[in-house]
Copies of this chain bind each other. A is one copy, B any other.
Amino acid sequence: MTAAITRPASRSRDAATPLRVAASAYARDGGRTPHTAFHDWYADAAARTFTRVERVPLDALTGWETEPGTGNLRHHTGGFFTVEGLEVRMPAGPVPAWSQPIINQPEVGVLGILVKEFDGVLHCLMQAKVEPGNANGVQISPTVQATRSNYTGVHGGRPVPYLDWFRDPGSRGPLVDVRQSEQGSAFHHKRNRNMVVEADGEVEVREGFHWLTLGQLHRLLAEDDVVNMDARTVLSCLPFAHADLARELGPPADPFRAALFRSCDPSAEARHPLGAVLSWITEARTRTDVHARRVPLARLPGWQRTPERISHVSGAFFDVIGVRVEAGGREVAQWSQPMIEPHGTGVVAFLTRSFGGVLHVLMNARVEAGYMDVVELAPTVQCTPASYEHLPRSARPRYLDAVEGADPAHVRFHSVLSEEGGRFHHARNRYLIVDTDVDVPPDDPDYRWMTVHQLVELLRHSHYLNIQARSLVACLQSLLMPGEPAPTTERKTRI
């Protein structure tokens, strides 16, 4: 009953992946094309494409209707998504009950990056893509960004380029393949399948696509509004934790990077073993008594609908608006859709600290009504500071002051990044990574210090790290290599 040993080819590949990822991160000036060439291509792509986004009344959205009785917004095909109401009860929470509009998009789409080695260095095939909600038109996107509607053809569009690589990733399988959640404050159970597939043959580079190393993508993450949310979440799922990073990338000179490298080493001492972290998550998910129920949008207490928008009577949170979009390059597409327009720029931040020379990230067990499973791990800070301006200082989110008041020398990462431009209109957050010396009780019910290798391990599985935390993990990856000089204050103050 014993068969011959058949060593699967993919095993050794899996073991090598983190070092190949690191080598690609090392190539910050690009491998195939120098980074300056990217900028020419990107400027050109931006020039050749355009978006015209015009606000229109919710009743005037071509193809969309307000469902009689419920008031829900839906596409006449039944495809894409619906805007419905959600009634939430959380008896032990700071706000024990509320209602809100929510996007219901139960189908799981694909976010895929095709990678290929050139001269031994992994490159990612990235797309310059227009989304109606982008503040700046074009952003760098994954190779494929397909809803299930996209590939079943309900949108009536053309086939999605490169989608076949992800439909059939070949016998070696994908490098990354995991379903992850999106914003639980706006979506009901929305997930996307995050994939990275390595091409084993020739790949034609179509117009609007470009091969970039991880090092180049990491440089672009430091620029405002360039790398889109879908690209960030896929990049965050790349396995990059490995004991030999220092050998591969050279021993880092500064203590922060040295601690970051050690944090990527699975044998590094963690403040809490992974089992204790998992138990803390289990406890948070069990303790939190949350009941979310989809209800008609028409009768949401506290929300009112005018011809232009559905908004909260307090003016807080977000609005549901309608837009008519004309976008494209050589070919032009036109469509209308509802969008979510948040109020104010958010702050999304990791506080980091070294324990025993190993970098730890302070994670928050956060409840959002739309999560599949009650709680996900969020960044240390995730909020819209403007919401707290008129409230007493005691009402401010924990650690927001530690982020906003941080010595600039301790701010390791800072850029303004957009949320998904297909559903959110001008949703921008300041993403920060801030080194700190704050103290957190080891049994704090809401926060835990975690190493990077623990985050990477959890990212193999669904529903542990929320979308904002995943964006910041991609930003943390970008700190593996020393960066450019810090951006000028002037640029950062235009936020």
Q: Which of B6, B356, B435 contacts A355 (CB 8 A)?
A: B6
A179 at the interface (CB under 8 A from B): yes
Complex formed: what's the CA distance from A270 to B283 in Å?
Answer: 32
Asked if B174 contacts A373 (CB within 8 A), the reply is: no
Distance in angstroms from A286 CB to nearest chain B CB is 5
Asked whether, in the complex, the Cβ of A2 is within 8 Å of the Cβ of B275, the reply is no
Known interface pairs A282-B193, A462-B373; A356-B10 also in contact (CB < 8 Å) = no
CB of A12, distance to nearest CB on chain B (Å): 9
Total chain A interface residues with beta-carbon distance under 8 A: 52
Complex CA distance for A68 and B286, rounded to whole angstroms: 32
Tell me if A269 counts as interface (CB < 8 A to partner B): yes
In the complex, which residues of chain B have a beta carbon less than 8 angstroms from the beta carbon of A354?
1-3
- When distances are taken between beta carbons in the complex, the residues of chain B under 8 Å from A177 are 275, 278-279, 282-283
Interface 1/0 per residue, A238-252 and B, CB below 8 Å = 000000000000000
State the CA gap A26–B424 with chains docked (Å): 59
Contact A356:B6 (CB < 8 A) given known A278-B460, A279-B177 = yes
Distance of A175 Cα from B278 Cα, bound (Å): 11
Query: Quick one: given A282-B178, A282-B193, are A269 and B356 in contact (CB under 8 Å)?
Result: no
Considering the complex, which residues of chain A in the window 104-150 have a beta carbon less than 8 Å from any beta carbon of chain B?
Answer: 108
A5 to B271, CA, bound (A): 9
Query: Is A32 an interface residue when CB atoms closer than 8 A count as contact?
Result: no
Partner of A3, one of B1, B8, B355: B355
C-alpha gap A241/B1 in the complex (Å): 23
- The verdict on A372 contacting chain B, using a C-beta distance below 8 Å, is yes
Contacts A173-B279, A179-B285, A193-B282 hold; do A271 and B6 have CB atoms under 8 A apart?
A: yes
Interface flags for A10-44 (1: CB within 8 Å of B; 0: not) read 11001000000000000000000000000000000
* A376 vs B153: C-alpha distance when bound (angstroms): 29
Name the interface residues of A147-196: CB closer than 8 Å to any CB of B: 169, 171, 173-175, 177-179, 193
Residues of B within 8 A of A353 (CB): 1, 3
A4 within 8 A of B: yes
A461 within 8 A of partner (CB)? yes
| B373 and A276 contacting across the interface, CB-CB below 8 Å | no
Asked if A3 and B356 make an inter-chain contact with CB atoms under 8 angstroms apart, the answer reads: yes
Is A273's beta carbon under 8 Å from chain B? yes
CB pair A279–B4 under 8 Å, yes or no, is no
The answer to whether the Cβ of A443 comes within 8 Å of any Cβ in the partner chain is: yes
Give the Cβ gap from A3 to chain B, nearest Cβ, in Å.
5
Give every chain B residue within 8 A of A14 (Cβ-Cβ).
273, 275-276
Asked if A398 CB lies within 8 Å of chain B CBs, one says: no
Q: Is the CB of A5 within 8 A of B279?
A: no
Contacts known (A1-B435, A279-B174, A354-B2); A269 close to B7, Cβ less than 8 A: yes
- CB-CB nearest 9 A-B residue pairs: A5-B356, A177-B279, A2-B354, A173-B276, A11-B273, A177-B282, A14-B273, A3-B355, A1-B437
18 further contact pairs, Cβ within 8 A, besides A2-B354, A10-B273: A1-B353, A1-B435, A2-B255, A2-B355, A4-B356, A5-B357, A6-B355, A6-B356, A8-B272, A11-B269, A11-B270, A14-B276, A108-B286, A169-B279, A177-B283, A178-B278, A274-B460, A372-B373
- Give the interface of A toward B (CB within 8 A): 1-8, 10-11, 14, 108, 169, 171, 173-175, 177-179, 193, 255, 259, 269-276, 278-279, 282-283, 285-286, 353-357, 372-373, 435-437, 442-443, 460-462
